Structure formats: C-alpha cells, structure tokens
Amino acid sequence: KAGVTQTPRYLIKTRGQQVTLSCSPISGHRSVSWYQQTPGQGLQFLFEYFSETQRNKGNFPGRFSGRQFSNSRSEMNVSTLELGDSALYLCASSWGTGTYEQYFGPGTRLTVT
C-alpha cells in the first residue's frame, strides 16, 4: 500500500506571496492532519480534515487554511507569507477522525525569502 505523498517536496517563495501544498493520504484513510515543524517550535498541529470538513484547528493565524476533497486528498494554503513561515509542513493520515495512529508523509520544505 502506498504511503502518504506530499507535493511539492521543496518550495521557495518570497514574502507576501501565497503557497498551496498538497497531500494524498494512504488509500482508505479519510482523515488528514497538517503539522508545521520548525527547529524552534518542533511539531505543531495546524488542522485536521475529515470528510471534507475541518474538524479541528490549532493556534495558527487565519493566513493558514486548508481543504479536503471527496477523494480525501487535502491541500493547505498559506497566504501573505512571512519569513517565520519557513518550515517543514507535514501531513499525516489516519483512517478516521479521532484516530491518533497517524502516518506521516515526507513533508514539504518551504523557504520564505
């Protein structure tokens, strides 16, 4: 069974721009969670989607948003990029919401200059 895939793997953007990251969960998994990983803050929860609905949200500004499609694929968007948004963005899938055995993708490395 294929694992979680994320595209693109690397991205360089300029302050003020926006970016969209994509995540395809493991086949059969319906929940996708997004995390931001930085050296200073570690892994922090952004949000979770299940059945095309955002179920939970972490403490991030409204510039961070996401969505989920009917095939469970998910995208996250960051608008008006700031230097501090430079991070590894990870998505994790699980079979259902409230299921914490989550499987992570390789991440998208975002660099904001």
Partner 1 sequence: GESVGLHLPTLSVQEGDNSIINCAYSNSASDYFIWYKQESGKGPQFIIDIRSNMDKRQGQRVTVLLNKTVKHLSLQIAATQPGDSAVYFCAEKDDYKLSFGAGTTVTVRA
11-19, 37-45, 65-73, 79-87 -> range binding partner 1 (CB under 8 A): 37-45
For residues 10 and 32, what is the distance between their CA atoms, to the nearest angstrom? 20
In the complex with partner 1, the residue whose CB is nearer, 72 or 102, is 102
Contact call for residue 107 and partner 1 (CB under 8 A): yes
Q: What are phi and psi of 84, to 5 degrees?
A: -70, -5
For residues 105 and 107, what is the distance between their CA atoms, to the nearest angstrom? 5
CB of 30 to partner 1, least distance (A): 16
CB of 15 to partner 1, least distance (A): 26
| C-alpha to C-alpha distances, 79 to 21, 91, 94, nearest whole angstrom | 12, 18, 27
Place of tokens 């997004």: 34
Q: Which residues bind partner 1 (CB under 8 A)?
A: 4, 6, 33, 42-45, 48, 55-56, 58, 90, 92, 98, 100-107
